[in-house]
Structure 1
């Protein structure tokens, strides 16, 4: 529903208003969550002309009511009551500061993700718990601990934008569970972040997400089994998301300050731009992996580059590149299986697919690798 989206978009701004009025972050976030619940109930019949002002007014009243019975806070309550009733809401946009606070370095990645989804994303504790497949009580405790951890952090402290980007990328990679599409939510939040900062890597992340998300309809079969990129029905890819992602990427690259997310988005754009797997520009993809590895020399990047080398220069070249990478790197065995199959060594490929399936932690991936091993085994026998 449109109101649901609007409520989520207004959440960080309303929290920011309360914090600037002197409300501690944890209390402000609680009050705004209560206001969101009330809005979900009442707006279906009568949506206010000024939604943000309505939320600020209700959240402020919720905050005052929550403290009215506490003797120790009587003086603070009197100051709050003495303030004029909220009229036109403050124009300051505190969304960026709220992102920084929720992705504070003192928080674990899991806690930062949960707090971001609740305070910036406007999701309920139940929705976040369902998305991460944990009990609601467990998620409530995680969020409460996170709020206590950042309670002493000044709202105006400068935060680390790269940490915020990492948190949003973690949200995006969770995909879809429960009644919340976390990939779509991550894109929405990244758009919100991009609107508050002129940063090319935020733009790179905003390009990368829709380019990946565009392929989601073709990634699985009706029975839930995985469809490899080369076998996907590209007519099912979302061309609007692809066009959007490429436009954002071009704008970011024009600034000539390359970063990790921009390089990843460039690779995704080359895949999205190919009309078929055979038309993929693997040579240029290898070049972008070289750029990416120079920015972040991780074994995962090296592994993906080795697979791309196998496509661009042949399986033997890919296997030579793969031989330089630690075999314990995730998906190393699956990559070796693919390259051995490409080289024509079906027996070795089948054994490697079976080995990779045994090590896979994801059920859909395990089933896919098992089918690959069985397919090659049948081909050898036939």
Structure 2
């Protein structure tokens, strides 16, 4: 469904905004309540044109995994009692975290992008917990937080084999596989108090070969979960840091060790939640003012473009680019009467040189944790 914000209907911006969101939420919940796990459209064709997300339908307290076409149509309910924290792989598999309805234990499954072919990977036990599982873009590995700050990677070789990669990862951070799936980047706390960005080779079972590591002297910007963001070239990583209250992006080349800093002095924007476009020329950010901002980083003449117009009490987060660079997806969080609502949006954009212009905006789904495009890989 196509939706464009109006700014002249209400004098009270917050009331106007909440009225829109509550109306939209009712429509979406009515659709989701009409079935248990059901097909609400066609297959969507090319899976790269579909978005995958976890939502909580109005008729159940169990989370469901859904997919939807990028234009907001053809919704499919894929997995009941499941959560995803990463997109499906290029070969069409997802890492889904479920919970046993009898024991209450968390169970990690590999599931195809149609919600079929379940394969159990691991179950929570006294040995390890299972949190934030992410699938590698090639679909051959799953990384997860095993509790007690431990990072595990599971690989399939006739059966799932587990490697303990690290035992002191930084709290409130999630690792990130490189686009070619050969490496994983994560933040680590050393015993001497240093914060490290570390990159490990993931190709060899039982190996923890260090590809790159760097001491981060600044503080990680923390307004939610933190993760390193890879460029599509598999050579550069961007992180968000703060020094004496000034936020900046650090683009780190893991092959040369060089660091490019982009200082963001604006009190409205900040540097949190960076998402890099496929061509590497733009970065989208979750601004301090609650908006999604896009910065041209092709050269040092940075241009800032705002692609959202949030009302008071709203905050847009978790931007994500479509591979063609023409759309950005994000979550809009709205708080009303101490209750938070989260709606998944997609905004189409156009370019005037290095200035980004907002075109049409679609409402995709309500009560969404985070949306993911199908992995592109490299």
Q: Which band: TM-score by shorter chain?
A: under 0.3
* TM-score using structure 2 length: 0.25
Query: Which one has a larger percent helix, Structure 1 or Structure 2?
Result: 1
Query: Which one has a larger percent strand, Structure 1 or Structure 2?
Result: 2
* TM-score using structure 1 length: 0.25
